């Protein structure tokens, strides 16, 4: 028998969340961002459930090839473009849409012999200082691309550093927006946070990621408040029960010690399944977790294959009781917040050893 841990994927939630994005940015085309194995959700599963997207955005040529082999004819945006000249053979063969964020990439494209001209994205660094041409260099790069026989169209693109936070998008928009007007080029700016909060960023193509997976991009607004439905639910079971006497601890380092007699459930899920090891382990706090539908908390240090829950609030819990690590009524965002991270990281860390089922 396999371990009782399981990741369930609600395919209907993908379609629902894509609709939420469509309603937020009506009439705007949407790249479904499926990088990193669709944020841990399974590339082909996510793409299949979001066929209604206008295209897929990712980073890895292998992932692009898997989509093409599976029959997806959608545009595919390569978010970091190519890393070396021979990547362009694959870009050509698969007819991908590469981002150009550096002049070395434009040089490679200029030297390439392609079967068909490509749509390309020209990335502008509007202030995040990660990838892209400075605003001063964009018109030159744009003119260069427009003059190349390898290029069919050029879309301007930028990415926001704090669309989900208090700084918002104003400064970056003030730098980027005039370029689109000046060059009369289509534009793509918005990630999930910008789509849901900053309508002025919608442009011609939006790039939703986390919202499609049903988690919130915002620290101060829940996925449910945004009308999003979680796709992934990570469940397991209680595989042992312990009753600690006052002063006894559980797990490595005894990071938690019982103050009074305390029933503890041992859950078949650990950091090798993708549960965050840095979830709080001490007496003061713990990550939220559900046992038999009741909300309780983890205690002690997460181990490779197990973690521990306080069953004080769940007296009926027994061997085989159902545990929800995240998803369903327990937002991944809440677990992530307790562990000092974001739902993106929890999802991406889901281990391949966890059996997946689709509902
Ligand atoms: C990952 C990514 C996105 C999607 O961001 P979310 O916050 O998940 O919506 C959009 N654009 C770029 C360039 C990205 O790298």
Q: What average pLDDT values come out for the chain (359 residues) when binned by 10 residues?
A: 92 98 98 98 98 98 98 98 97 98 98 97 96 96 98 98 94 95 96 98 98 97 98 98 96 92 97 92 86 96 96 96 97 96 97 96
Q: Is this prediction's pTM over 0.85? A: yes
Tell me: do 73 and 201 sit in the same domain.
yes
The answer to the question of residue 4 being in a domain is no
Q: Which residue from 33, 55, 155 has its CB within 8 A of the most atoms of ligand 1, so it is best to mutate?
A: 33
pLDDT at 280: 79
pLDDT at 98: 98
Q: Could you confirm whether 252 is annotated as catalytic?
A: yes
Q: How many domains in the chain?
A: 2
Q: Which residue from 201, 209, 342 has its CB within 8 A of the most atoms of ligand 1, so it is best to mutate?
A: 209
Q: How far is the CA of 216 from the centre of ligand 1 (A)?
A: 13
pLDDT at 1: 67
Tell me: do 268 and 314 sit in the same domain.
yes
The answer to the question of residue 341 being in a domain is yes
User: From residue 144, how far is each of 140, 184, 345 by CA, in Å?
Assistant: 6, 15, 38
Nearest CA to ligand 1 atom 15: 79
Tell me: do 261 and 329 sit in the same domain.
yes
CA 333 to chain centre: 12
How many CA atoms lie within 13 Å of 71's alpha carbon, on the beta-carbon side? 3
Residue 163 alpha carbon, nearest atom of ligand 1: 7
Cβ atoms within 10 Å, residue 18: 20
pLDDT at 278: 85
Residue 210 alpha carbon, nearest atom of ligand 1: 8
Q: Could you confirm whether 35 is annotated as catalytic?
A: yes
CATH number at residue 327: 2.40.37.10
Tell me: do 289 and 332 sit in the same domain.
yes
Tell me: do 167 and 206 sit in the same domain.
yes
């Amino acid at each position: 028998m396999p371990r009782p841990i399981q990741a369930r994927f609600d395919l209907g939630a993908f379609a629902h969340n894509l609709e939420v994005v469509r309603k937020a940015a009506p009439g705007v085309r949407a790249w479904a961002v499926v990088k990193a194995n669709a944020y841990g959700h399974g590339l082909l599963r996510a793409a299949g459930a979001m066929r209604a997207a206008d295209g897929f955005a990712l980073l890895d040529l292998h992932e692009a090839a898997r989509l093409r082999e599976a029959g997806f004819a959608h545009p595919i945006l390569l978010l970091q473009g190519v890393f070396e000249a021979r990547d362009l053979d694959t870009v050509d063969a698969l007819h991908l849409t590469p981002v150009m964020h550096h002049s070395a990439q434009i040089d490679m494209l200029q030297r390439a012999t392609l079967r068909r001209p490509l749509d390309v994205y020209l990335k502008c660094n509007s202030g995040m200082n990660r990838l892209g041409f400075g605003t001063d260099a964009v018109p030159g790069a744009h003119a260069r691309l427009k003059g190349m026989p390898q290029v069919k169209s050029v879309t301007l693109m930028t990415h926001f550093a704090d669309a989900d936070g208090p700084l918002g998008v104003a400064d970056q928009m003030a730098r980027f927006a005039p370029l689109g007007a000046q060059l009369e080029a289509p534009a793509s700016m918005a990630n999930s946070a910008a789509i849901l909060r900053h309508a002025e960023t919608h442009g011609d193509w939006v790039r939703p990621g986390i919202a499609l997976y049903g988690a919130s991009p915002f620290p101060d607004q829940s996925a449910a408040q945004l009308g999003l439905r979680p796709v992934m639910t990570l469940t397991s079971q209680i595989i042992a029960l312990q009753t600690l006497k006052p002063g006894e601890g559980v797990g490595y380092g005894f990071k938690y010690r019982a103050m009074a007699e305390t029933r503890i459930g041992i859950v078949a899920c650990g950091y090798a399944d993708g549960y965050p090891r840095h979830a709080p382990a001490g007496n003061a706090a713990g990550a939220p977790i559900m046992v038999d539908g009741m909300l309780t908390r983890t205690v002690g240090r997460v181990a490779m294959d197990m973690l521990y829950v306080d069953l004080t609030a769940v007296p009926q819990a027994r061997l085989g009781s159902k545990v929800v690590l995240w998803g369903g009524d327990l937002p991944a965002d809440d677990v992530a917040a307790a562990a000092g991270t974001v739902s993106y990281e929890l999802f991406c860390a889901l281990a391949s050893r966890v059996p997946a089922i689709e509902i």
